[in-house]
Amino acid sequence: MKRLIALIAISVALLGFMYLYSNEVWLLPPEVFNLVHGMMFLIMIGTLTLLYFFHQSRLFYIMLLFLGTAMNAEFFDYLRHTDALFKARADGGNFTDAYIMLVFPIFIVMMALAKERSFFGFGGWMRLGVTLIVILLLDLFVFVPVLSPFGFGCEACGFVLLPQYLPLWVSTSIIFVPLIVLLGAVVVRNSTIEGVYFLAFLAAHLAALSTRTLDVFILFATAYAIIAAIFILTHSYTIAFIDELTGIKGRRAMQIMLATLHEGYTLVMCDIDHFKTFNDTHGHDVGDEVLKLVATELNRVGGGGRAFRWGGEEFVIIFNGATSKEAKPYVEAVRKAIEVRPFLLRSPQRPKAIDPEELPQKRHAKPPVQTQKLHVTVSFGMAQGDGKVPYEEVMKAADTALYAAKKAGRNCVRP
């Protein structure tokens, strides 16, 4: 959750910075502006490709909507400079404001609440079709009033579409209902990906609030592309390197670290004592809670140690640049911390809710035991590496030391 909050805070700061300085971009020299302009579209296309290969279909269609709208904005800008009629009658701001402030929130909320689907299944093709229709709506919003032979302008459709012409409760709902839904999804699901939908909503509204909506929209579409790329890479890193159950780094992260060590280090194999018996007696859900408890304590190890989950009930601690003698006091400290920390097991016989009418009779009754206090212990096996011997050999030595700790009665450190 902390990582998600930090990413959202950084992204909001980026969007705020772009909003404050969006008009400065157009003051750049023409050659620099053209280069920046081209790079914006390359970033959007690159993010679209990234989302496709990472199978993030919902974010893909939102990015496609941003890209399609940005391309429309580019085309309208071209017409303003080449078509006298369009330039004379276009009032792109109002119409694009209406489009972005009304259509984008609905589309983003729909994608946020939907489930992931294959790109090539029926649901995927349906979403692609809806996205393309929504992109074409912008053409309808701009071309119909501007090029109509009857000469009606943005005021006609603006009266129906723009929030400022709607009742206060309607215009307020248009902004805040999607915002509350998207923020709720971030809190409830606690997923890195959910933050992207909220930021997409924010980017679209900041573009609509700008005085040059069409021009600035390309800038905010690029900002969304950058944010989406950062979030998806962070999410992928979490999946690849963080153990989902315990929240500490997993086997792959440990193997990468060991492969890059070129100096002395100490490797410690850790195994929860009697875990199988504990699991069979109290159930796998309780076993998972034990794994989380042990992982939390191991992750607090001092001396520069870094904890990883190896698999099952086994963990690994690596002390880079430390000998076994230097690392042992920290291992002993974490062993004792686990030993003395109680694990409270809720009894399945805990009482049900008491009827208020039965309260006088229950008042003097002795309450049944609701929790059972258990203690978990861990055995440790240490081995020292020099960066030259393959780490697999060091792990075998640590595993041998762990076996010796088990033979010595468990809940101890060897050698």
Q: What is the pLDDT of residues 215-262, one digit of tens each?
A: 678 888 888 898 889 888 888 888 889 998 999 999 999 999 998 888
Look at the block and give the residue holding tokens 């060991």: 258
Residue 247 to residue 241: CA distance in whole angstroms: 10
Residue that wins the pLDDT comparison between 52 and 77: 52
Tell me how far CA of residue 56 lies from CA of 52, 61, 185, 194, 233, in angstroms. Answer: 6, 9, 17, 12, 11
- In this predicted model, what pLDDT tens digit does every residue of 291-312 receive, in sequence order? 999 999 999 999 999 999 998 9
The dihedrals phi and psi of 343, each to the nearest 5 degrees, come to -110, 115
User: Nearest-CA neighbor of 397 among 288, 279, 265, 268?
Assistant: 268
- In this predicted model, what pLDDT tens digit does every residue of 319-363 receive, in sequence order? 999 999 999 999 999 999 999 988 877 655 544 444 455 545 544
375's CB contacts (< 8 A; 6+ apart) are 339, 340, 341, 342, 343
**Contact at 8 Å (CB) between 162 and 97?**
yes
Query: Within the chain, what is the greatest distance between any pair of CA atoms?
Result: 94
Residue 121 to residue 143: CA distance in whole angstroms: 33
> 307: helix, coil or strand?
strand
Evaluate if residue 157 carries a pLDDT over 50. Answer: no
Q: 356: cis peptide before it, omega within 30°?
A: no
First to last CA, the chain: 38
Query: What pLDDT, on the 0 to 100 scale, is given for residue 72?
Result: 82
Query: What pLDDT, on the 0 to 100 scale, is given for residue 201?
Result: 82
Confidence of residue 27 (pLDDT cuts 50, 70, 90): low
Residue 310 to residue 325: CA distance in whole angstroms: 23
Q: Which two tokens stand for residue 337?
A: 């911390």
Residue 213 to residue 225: CA distance in whole angstroms: 18
Query: What pLDDT, on the 0 to 100 scale, is given for residue 331?
Result: 96
Confidence of residue 153 (pLDDT cuts 50, 70, 90): very low
- In this predicted model, what pLDDT tens digit does every residue of 267-294 receive, in sequence order? 999 999 999 888 888 888 888 999 999 9
Q: Which two tokens stand for residue 285?
A: 């859900």
Residue that wins the pLDDT comparison between 184 and 330: 330
Q: At what angle do helices 57-82 and 194-209 cross, to 10 degrees?
A: 20
Residue that wins the pLDDT comparison between 7 and 103: 103
Of the listed ranges 10-14, 23-27, 276-280, 368-372, the one predicted with least confidence: 368-372
What letter would DSSP give residue 11? H
Residue that wins the pLDDT comparison between 98 and 112: 112
